Amino acid sequence: MIAFVGVGPGDPELITLQAVRTLKAAQVVAIADSGTESAVLQIAGHYFEEKEVLRLYLPMSGDLRDWEEAHRAAVRELLLYLDAGKDIAYPVLGDPSFYASSSYLMALIPSRYEKTVVPGVPALCATAAALGIPLAQGRERLTILPGLMEGESLPEGNVVVMKAGQHLAALERLAADRTFFLARNVGMQNEYAGLLSEAPEAYSYFSTVIIKP
């Protein structure tokens, strides 16, 4: 059996009881390795310190064809453990169904293998909590974007821009008549939560922007 486990957006206290129980029960823990320090290990590594850790190379940028080959190679490794009868936990930041590498792996693992998903707190919810603002109210719409490139228009209503670290300059140029909030490294070191216009200059992959109507 393989369990895809959401460990939340960064704060170790936001990991669920079900996630902790699943990580502790697994015989093998597989984590995505993109060549940088793993935030998953920082959040939840102490739950599987004595377990076998399988590092799967999964690039976070580059050509889509490179992604596809890396995902297929990762699944081939996972299947070796599953065929040996090992229970695997694959922890991911936030929620496994929300812009997570786990969704690609799940689709490639044949249906004869048991798969389960443990939901986690997504970054947009932690961002709204850190800012003390609602994501949406009443019948307001909420649009979630995986970034906003130069020249793209901004949807009406409430907007969340995930993984916004590389798109802040483009977003700031659209901020004339709406309120833009930024949360960076929520629950981690160097956390910032406030107006985008007042944020100190810095880059972080863990950047989420909320735009109000």
Residue 4's SS3 state is strand
Q: How many CB atoms lie within 10 A of CB 83?
A: 9
Domain covering 2-118 assigned CATH 3.40.1010.10 in the classification: yes
Query: What is the average per-residue pLDDT within 184-189?
Result: 86
**pLDDT at position 96:** 95
Question: Using an 8 Å Cβ cutoff, are 32 and 67 in contact?
Answer: no
CA–CA gap between residue 134 and residue 93 (Å, rounded): 22
CA 163 to chain centre: 9
Domain boundaries, the chain: 2-118, 123-211
Nearest one of 108, 99, 121 to 2, comparing CA atoms: 108
Q: Regarding the domain delimited by 123-211, which CATH topology (the fold level of the hierarchy) does it fall under?
A: 3.30.950
Instruction: Express each pLDDT in 140-176 by its tens digit.
Output: 999 999 888 777 888 889 999 998 888 888 888 877 7
Question: Using an 8 Å Cβ cutoff, are 151 and 166 in contact?
Answer: no
Q: Which residue has the higher pLDDT, 39 or 64?
A: 39
pTM for the complete prediction? 0.89
Question: Using an 8 Å Cβ cutoff, are 6 and 121 in contact?
Answer: yes
Q: 158-161 and 2-6: which strand pairing?
A: unpaired
Nearest one of 121, 100, 167 to 180, comparing CA atoms: 167
Find the range with the poorest average confidence among 86-90, 130-134, 137-141, 205-209. 205-209
Confidence class for position 112, pLDDT limits 50, 70, 90 = very high
- Cα-flanking dihedrals φ and ψ of residue 199, to 5°? -75, 135
pLDDT exceeds 70 at position 110: yes
